Structures are given as C-alpha cells and as structure tokens.
Amino acid sequence: MIPLSIPHLAGNEWTYVKECLDTGWVSTAGAYVSRFEEDIAAFTRSKYAISCMNGTAGLHTAMNLLGIGRGDYVLAPNLTFVATLNAISYTKADPLLIDVDPASWQLDLKLLERWLAEHTSITDTVCTLREDGRRIAAIMPVHVLGNLCDMDRLQQLSEAYHIPIIEDSTEALGSTFKGQHAGTFGVFGTSSFNGNKIITTGGGGMVFTQDEHLATRAKHLTTTAKTDPLDYFHDEVGYNYRLVNVLAAIGVAQLEQLPDLIRRKKHMDAYYREQLGGVGDISFQRITPGVDPNCWLFTFRTGRMRELLTYLNDRGIQSRPFWTPMHDLPMYERLRYVTEANNARAVHATAISIPSSSGLTDDQLAEVVGHVRAFYS
C-alpha cells in the first residue's frame, strides 16, 4: 500500500530519544522542551512559542487566554477539522460558521466582510451581533492544507471590527504569506505535531504569540498554574497540557529536517499538478496570491470523488475524503451559518486527498499518477 501521510523519521530522532531514556528525562521537565520551543520560534520568527500536548489543547489555551466564554461567538470556517470547533465549544462560547471560498477552500473574506457590515455593531471597541447584542470574541482562520487566506485583508477586518485573530495554523507550519510565517499574524497561532502533519512528535502542539505577557500566561495555564517551584501552590484552574520531554526530543529532530521536508512536499505538489492537470474533471486548490505553502497534503476536486476513492483504495493507493463540514455534524447543525451557496459542502462532496508522505519515492508518485490517469481513461 502507498500510504496517505505517514511520518518521516530519518534524522536524529533515535539519538535524542535515547538520550532522554538514558538520562531518565522522559516526562514533563527536561531540556528538549525549551529547546524545541526556542528552535520553532526561531524557525517561524515568532517572538514566543509555547509547547503543549496537541493542537487542540493549543487552540483551547488561546481561547481561555482571550477570556472567551459563555455568551460569546467565535467566527470559524464551516470547512475544518472538528478540533477547531471543539476548542470553541469547550469554553461554552458558540461557534458562528462562515462559508469558504470555493477555489482556495479558506474563509470567504468577501462574504465575511459583507456580513460584518450588515449584521454587527461596534460599541466601546467590542463587536457584537446586532440581533442579540452578544460579543464576537474572536475569528479563527484555518489555514486549510497549508494555504492561507489573504491575511492583509483579514487583519484589516480584525482591526476595523476589533475582533482578535486566533489562527488555526495547525496544518501550515512552514507556510508563509508575504514572507511572514503562518501562526504569527494573530494574537495567537497554533501548530499540531500529530502523526500525519509535516513534522510530528507522535502527538503534540505549539502556541505562538508575539506578546510577552500572553506567552507567560500560556506557559502558566498549560502547566497547572503552579506559582512556586517547591510548594504545590496554584493560583488558578490550570491544565496539564504539557508536551513531555521525550516527545519534544522527537520534535527537535523533526524540525531539523523541516526545510528538506518542505522541499520534498513542494516537489510532490508540482509533480502532481503537472501530471494530473487536464485529466478528467480534476481541479486543484487555488493558492492565495502572496502565499508560499508547505504543500502538506495533496488534495484535488473531482465530480467522481466517491468512485475514485474506492478505485484508489482498492488498488492500495491510500486516499481520503475531506472533512465533513461542521454544519453537517449533529452537534453543530444548529449553529448560525453565514453562506450563500454552501461551498463547504460542495468542496467536501468533491475533494480527495492522495498519498503525500514525505518519504514517497518518485516511482511511488508515478504509480499514484498512473492509477488516477487509468481511472479517467
């Protein structure tokens, strides 16, 4: 089988993990945690990076630190992985869904801008929904598949409407918009190091912020809010959201390889686009002008998605459909949803992800292409 997206552990992972095991520093303390944070902050040119146990925990921490809670709305795209909405729900705030652009699959900014103008008010630097007066506490762009929306425009809207940005940049490590790294535009950004991501620690996450006070608060809140190195004194309800040293050691080794992994992903992306362009009714994700994507997982649209999915999986080419839109999930079907044509549903009905693991050989890529072409011939 040619797998969809598996880890590529070809660097110093073994050496660094062995060091953790040999020295006994496997758990919540240890030098690799801060080294991973420093290395990733340097790579992304983020002032601060705070590690945590997964991307979802990172998103939840960002919500908590912005004081988001019951009675608030948080704007989020309808097309995302469920963790984005779950993180909002943990705080008791209500997600308010915005449709996506049918070509880039990111937040539809034109739709958002119109909706903000028609349906919200600003009083004392707080944006509220006119209909019920409730606060719109944050907006969460999701950088779907390592692409981004026009971040200049989103930042203008964020400033004009006083709605802070929390980036779900979990899929976009290494992607940039006009040279600036994903995750560093918002009040907070996040990374995930889940097994299928561009680098992995098995499970893990990172919170990015450019604000010293928020960085200190993020560390505090994710490490049980303990205030004294000796005494068990905690000054608020904290979380045990730490990334452990043995996993951070894997992260340090993975990060060393990230530039090579991105190069490999870009090669794959260019190859697939060249080989599959014009085949059947295949169409590709439009990359937003100004974005240099990490090309994490190759995904395209076709009207015959379900048929092709079965065809490829039956032939050992592991392929996946895209996320079910949030508004089509039972716990989120009653949410407010700003849409004109429900593009999220149309993308879901037609999008298919094909093998994109960094370790795939050129022969394997050619085999994938051969099967896709054969399907349409």
Q: Contact positions toward ligand PLP, by CB under 6 A?
A: 54-56, 80-81, 83-84, 142, 168, 170-171, 192, 194, 205
Q: Residue 295 carries which DSSP code?
A: -
Token couple for 164 = 């802070």
Q: Please, which residues bridge with residue 128 across strands?
A: 121, 135
Nearest to 145 by CA among 361, 299, 302, 331: 299
Report residue 343 as tokens. Answer: 């593009």
Instruction: Between 68 and 365, name the residue whose CB sits nearer to ligand PLP.
Output: 68
Distance in Å, CB of 54 to ligand PLP, minimum: 3
Residue pair 153/104 in contact (Cβ under 8 Å)? The answer is no
Q: Whose CB is nearest to ligand PLP?
A: 55
Q: Is 314 exposed, middle or buried (0-12, 13-18, 19+ CB in 10 A)?
A: exposed
Query: Taking Cα atoms as reference points, which of 201, 186, 264, 170 lies closest to residue 35?
Result: 201
Give the whole-angstrom CA distance, residue 88 versus residue 230: 34
Side-chain half-sphere CA neighbours of 220 within 13 A: 17
Min dist. Cβ of residue 375 to ligand PLP (A):
27
Q: Tell me if residue 223 falls in helix, strand or coil.
A: strand
Which CB atom, from 127 or from 172, has the smaller least distance to ligand PLP? 172
Shortest separation between residue 198's beta carbon and ligand PLP, angstroms:
11
Smallest distance, Å, CB 192 to ligand PLP? 3
Looking at the Cβ atoms of 175 and 194, the one nearer to ligand PLP is 194
> Which is closer to ligand PLP, CB of 30 or CB of 58?
58
Q: With beta carbons less than 8 A apart as the criterion, state whether 51 and 75 touch.
A: no
Give CA–CA dist 349/345, Å, rounded: 6
In the complex with ligand PLP, the residue whose CB is nearer, 194 or 356, is 194
Q: Which residues contact 7 (CB under 8 A, 6 or more apart)?
A: 195, 200, 357
Least distance between ligand PLP and beta carbon 243 (Å): 11
How far apart are alpha carbons 168 and 84 in whole angstroms? 7
Pick the closer one to ligand PLP by CB: 150 or 168: 168
Closer residue to ligand PLP in complex, CB, 68/83 = 83
d(CA 205, CA 287): 25
Nearer to ligand PLP, 174 or 205 (CB): 205
Q: What gap in Å lies between CA 293 and CA 9, rounded to an integer?
A: 22
